Structure 1
Amino acid sequence: MRHSKTYNFFSEYGQIALGVLLASIGLKAFLLPNGFLDGGVTGIAILIKTQFNIKVSYSLVILSIPFLILGYYTVSKRIVIKSIISILALGLFIHFENFDTITDDKLLISIFGGLFVGSGIGIAIRNGSVLDGSEILGVYLNDRFGISIGKVILLFNVILFSITAWVISTEVALYSILTYIVTAKVTDLTIEGFEDFIGVTIVSKEYLAIKKAIMEELGAGLTTYKGSKGYGSTGQQEDFDIIHTIINRIDLKKMHRLIEDIDDRAFIIEFDVNNVKGGVLRHYLDKKKSKVLPTKP
């Protein structure tokens, strides 16, 4: 079923708003009152508050700026714009919300704080946005040096929690690590594996228009196979191209929108890709230079 652009717009931003709300509940009702950290930029902002009493909302927005600049050169402008709006909204929610502390049990704080924050991050990512700049850093280093996103985020947080153990306490660092583990797991469950690439096979009569949209609008490389279809062994047959491409999950919703605008009856198969070597996984067009992307990933 084809949805209007207005419907898609309100659906995406409505879900992002829900993600922001859930993340802010996790922070204000669980983590912040008890001095526990999450991973990434949010964790740095909380650590700064414990040492210098600077509001988390201020630090979160300021610290996110360099990562958003990186995102401008790494991911699409649409994702960067959504991320700016999301991070600003999260900063405002954290600044003005006044949730009562739900529990003082440290284990429950770590688990449920991570649960809420992870759910919020996952929902935001599913709709083409990020609430934490460390994900953008991971995508940037992956594109530039081939380092996996998971390893980048892990190293980032190992350094953060080591500093936490040194300047606050080992106990707080350990509970913060637990929070991060829960957050990461819930995020993965929500978005079904953000750190992995996903393969997409597309069968459509409008394959020429879809190929052009994927390369020019999404900026992804692709491979095509010759195929034919019919109504049985002796039925009417038709030659066409089968499109195969590999993208990051954060771009999946945009791909669905592009295909739906061209052919809402297109047959699409999605499958997990755990490891990719060689070729070009993804490019983003420099329209000023009128770059032409290769047709094979």
Structure 2
Amino acid sequence: MKQLLSDFFHADYVNRFSFSLVYALLASVALNFFYEPGNIYANGATGLAQIISTVFQQFFHIDFPIGWVLLLINLPLFVLGWFKISRRFTVFTGITVVLTSLFMEFIPTEVLTTDPIICAIFGGVLTGAGIGYAFKNGLSSGGLDFITIYIRKKTGRDVGSLAIIFNGMIMFAAGVLFGWQYALYSALSIFVSGKVTDVVYTKQQKMQVMIITRQPDIVVETLQSHLRRGITIINNAQGAYTKEGEKVLFTIVTRYELPLLRQAMKESDKEAFVSITENVQILGNFYEEEL
């Protein structure tokens, strides 16, 4: 813990703090400008916090602010993050959650429109962009993100797709308690949010790369200087037209690393044939940076 606190003022961690501010602002604007005016339930822990807050208001006549409910929901999940994901990741996620809870309370609700479809789409875009932006910079919005990241590390499945499954359960509860029209519009928002998350958070999108080259040694050396990836070499390949000997290289990269791959190929062998297959599923060891 002392090391975490002493490292906080490192430039990289100061940047992460600024990223936390950006996410907190996006999530709070989505809630107070779109979700609340349109009676839309958000994804993840925020949606669960909305349900709990609404239950207290409608059934017990107690005003339980969403921001504070969100903070309480995250407390036990921090334990999962601390022991199963990363302590540094959990500390900065805690900062993100606290900032989000505060912003939700201090940013006033502004009714731009009450159209549920517009509110669902724009709220989902803002939320998904915020979650993807947080993930991309080594942070999390907390709540169900801890669970989805943990499962992704174990199975390799997309974060956005996992979030849709978990959030479907929340929407079912909202439909049972408050009416199915709210659940349906909220489902639209969750779908949009999950897709935007996958678009923004490109580190989880894996791509298979096949390289046919006559200069394998140079290509391998250049690739490994740019990327921390294993490479499989297939010898004795032959061009069907030229009958000349070639070698085939196989590797897996993330979409986030694609510009580095292009740069490495430009430096090593501009004449190489490169084939890229998107959204492949990986079993076994695959290096991912620590959160």
Please state which band the TM-score falls in when normalised by the shorter chain: 0.5 to 0.7
Alignment of 1:117-132 (within 5 A): 117-132=127-142
Match of 2:32 in 1: 28
Q: Which amino acid aligns with 1:274?
A: N
Closer/same/farther in 2, CA of residues 190 and 44 from structure 1, 3 Å limit: same
Match of 1:113 in 2: 123
List alignment gaps of at least 5 residues for structure 1. Answer: 215-221, 227-241, 257-265, 286-297
The separation in 1 between residues aligned to 2:254 and 2:222, in whole angstroms, is 19
Q: Which amino acid aligns with 2:145?
A: E
Closer/same/farther in 2, CA of residues 11 and 144 from structure 1, 3 Å limit: closer
Alignment of 1:153-164 (within 5 A): 153-164=163-174
Closer/same/farther in 2, CA of residues 185 and 150 from structure 1, 3 Å limit: closer
Closer/same/farther in 2, CA of residues 125 and 44 from structure 1, 3 Å limit: same
Q: TM-score, normalised by structure 2?
A: 0.67
Residues 1:281 and 2:286 aligned together: yes
Q: What per-residue deviation string (whole Å, max 9, x for no partner) do you get for residues 45-101 of structure 1?
A: 111111113211111112122333222234333322221111111011001111421
Q: TM-score, normalised by structure 1?
A: 0.66
- Report the 3-state secondary structure (helix = DSSP H, G, I; strand = E; otherwise coil) of the residue aligned with 1:223: coil
Residues 1:51 and 2:55 aligned together: yes
The separation in 1 between residues aligned to 2:289 and 2:195, in whole angstroms, is 29
Greater Rg by CA? 2
Closer/same/farther in 2, CA of residues 7 and 114 from structure 1, 3 Å limit: same
Residues 1:40 and 2:59 aligned together: no
Closer/same/farther in 2, CA of residues 149 and 206 from structure 1, 3 Å limit: closer
Closer/same/farther in 2, CA of residues 45 and 268 from structure 1, 3 Å limit: farther
Q: Conserved in 2, the CA contact under 8 Å of 1:16 and 1:123?
A: no
Q: Conserved in 2, the CA contact under 8 Å of 1:202 and 1:268?
A: no
The separation in 1 between residues aligned to 2:171 and 2:287, in whole angstroms, is 32
Taking only aligned residues, the RMSD between alpha carbons, in angstroms, comes to: 3.7
Alignment of 1:195-214 (within 5 A): 195-197=204-206
- Give the alignment partner of residue 174 of structure 1, picking from 178, 184, 196: 184
Q: Conserved in 2, the CA contact under 8 Å of 1:37 and 1:46?
A: yes
The separation in 2 between residues aligned to 1:167 and 1:79, in whole angstroms, is 35
The separation in 2 between residues aligned to 1:268 and 1:9, in whole angstroms, is 33
Aligned pairs, how many? 239
Closer/same/farther in 2, CA of residues 164 and 17 from structure 1, 3 Å limit: same
- Give the alignment partner of residue 80 of structure 1, picking from 73, 90, 93: 90
- Give the alignment partner of residue 91 of structure 1, picking from 83, 97, 101: 101
- Give the alignment partner of residue 79 of structure 2, picking from 53, 69, 87: 69
The separation in 1 between residues aligned to 2:88 and 2:208, in whole angstroms, is 22
List alignment gaps of at least 5 residues for structure 2. Answer: 1-8, 58-63, 210-218, 234-248, 267-275
Compare 76-85 and 87-96 and name the one that shifted more: 76-85
